[in-house]
Structure 1
């Protein structure tokens, strides 16, 4: 992808998000665009940064660390870890990321908390919820969500911000909205249970269901291919 193509695709993604927010009757700053940069080279991230994009999502720890080192001069870049998180990778994530979207186990949460350098401030986290009940998907079961949230809220180096989900694909917007509505309702329930917590984030919506996610209250939408083009799955 050339620089001009990336400029056009990023502008198109921003327009799409703005149009979805307007159609949903929400303020145009009610949701942010998270550029999913997994498998993409650091040069493309640098170009997107030069076009005003600041938040980037990565799925693979080692790949992300290499890109972060190459882009260390970009002081205001914000790194989100959005992939499945193995217990043996928590230290690198705790030390090098600003956000984690895929937290779904207390064991992993405690490792992140214990390994987060105090000088970095709290790690912003979302709990991943398996809203579609898929056996192959990561995520805490809805019935176990409150207990996990309570545990995370007790950890001083983590700041629980909200929930994330990757629903099963659905063909039409009504079907797409159903699991996203369940995630929104789960966050509303947590807000009632923990009124002092800063629960302001719904990380949901990708290329195929962005409009449905915005209708259900998404505050962070994760777009990769729509911005950077088709992924090279051989890059890890």
Structure 2
């Protein structure tokens, strides 16, 4: 059975190969280790192998890991799950990134509750790219208004967009979903104020990261290919 360190090496090479194939800069795509429901010792092992960014979906579980791994001072915490209003204060102050901001109320709470002594919280807007009834995310029609509102929030830094397309759809449709998100980011750059970098596309997972990279992803969210099946 492959070790976590071996798996990180394998996934990193997949990313590098896809990046090269797409004619992109070698350092333009980052690996986010999806570590929800994984033991803190697994994260420590991944950290020792060079992984720094970890994605969590459950607030209390993440806070427990943060306490256990507090000695790892260069670790970077990303919240990637649905956000409940009663958890925004903890998310706002414990995480470096939030990939799943999907409505104005949540953005406002994160901004108001982020400690002003901390750097602005990096946020991505989660887009329901295909208007699936079972998925969270703002619609493409509402994207510009939400982005404009966030640009006025001093404790948030709008970095880009995130989506979770249905991985079981045909390959052509999945690629179309990735491309649709990339085009939405391009449009947002043209329409939104220029105070934020808008440099981030969070899309692609273990089975489709190559396709996501070819379509412009800058963060691929990988769990199973790193840590094995749950």
Normalised by the length of structure 1, the TM-score is 0.94
1:155 aligns with 2:191: no
Give the superposition deviation at 1:119: 1.4
Give the superposition deviation at 1:121: 1.1
Partner of 2:32 in structure 1?
34
Render the CA deviation track for 1:4-39: whole Å, top value 9, x for unaligned. Answer: 611111111101111111111112211000000000
Partner of 1:209 in structure 2?
208
3-state DSSP of counterpart to 2:3: helix
Q: 2:148 & 2:18 partners in 1: Cα distance?
A: 33
Q: 2:73 & 2:95 partners in 1: Cα distance?
A: 13
Give the superposition deviation at 1:169: 2.0
Partner of 1:234 in structure 2?
none
Q: Conserved in 1, the CA contact under 8 Å of 2:19 and 2:25?
A: yes
Q: 2:21 & 2:156 partners in 1: Cα distance?
A: 35
Q: Conserved in 2, the CA contact under 8 Å of 1:173 and 1:209?
A: no
Q: Conserved in 1, the CA contact under 8 Å of 2:148 and 2:193?
A: no
Render the CA deviation track for 1:136-192: whole Å, top value 9, x for unaligned. Answer: 100001100111001111100000000000001245543221011110010001100
Partner of 1:76 in structure 2?
74
Among 41, 58, 61, the alignment partner of 1:60 is: 58
Q: 2:81 & 2:145 partners in 1: Cα distance?
A: 22
Q: Conserved in 1, the CA contact under 8 Å of 2:160 and 2:201?
A: yes
Render the CA deviation track for 1:85-126: whole Å, top value 9, x for unaligned. Answer: 011110110110000000011001110001101111100000
Q: 2:13 & 2:169 partners in 1: Cα distance?
A: 23
Give the superposition deviation at 1:78: 0.5
Q: List alignment gaps of at least 5 residues for structure 2.
A: none
Q: 1:88 & 1:68 partners in 2: Cα distance?
A: 19
Q: 1:100 & 1:36 partners in 2: Cα distance?
A: 13
3-state DSSP of counterpart to 1:212: helix
Partner of 1:136 in structure 2?
134
Q: Which moved more, 1:197-206 or 1:164-173?
A: 164-173
Q: Conserved in 2, the CA contact under 8 Å of 1:173 and 1:212?
A: no
Moved over 3 A (4+): 170-173
Normalised by the length of structure 2, the TM-score is 0.97
Partner of 1:220 in structure 2?
219
3-state DSSP of counterpart to 1:155: coil
Give the superposition deviation at 1:194: 2.3
Q: List alignment gaps of at least 5 residues for structure 1.
A: 232-236
Q: 1:210 & 1:97 partners in 2: Cα distance?
A: 24
The total of aligned residue pairs comes to: 229
Among 14, 17, 22, the alignment partner of 1:16 is: 14
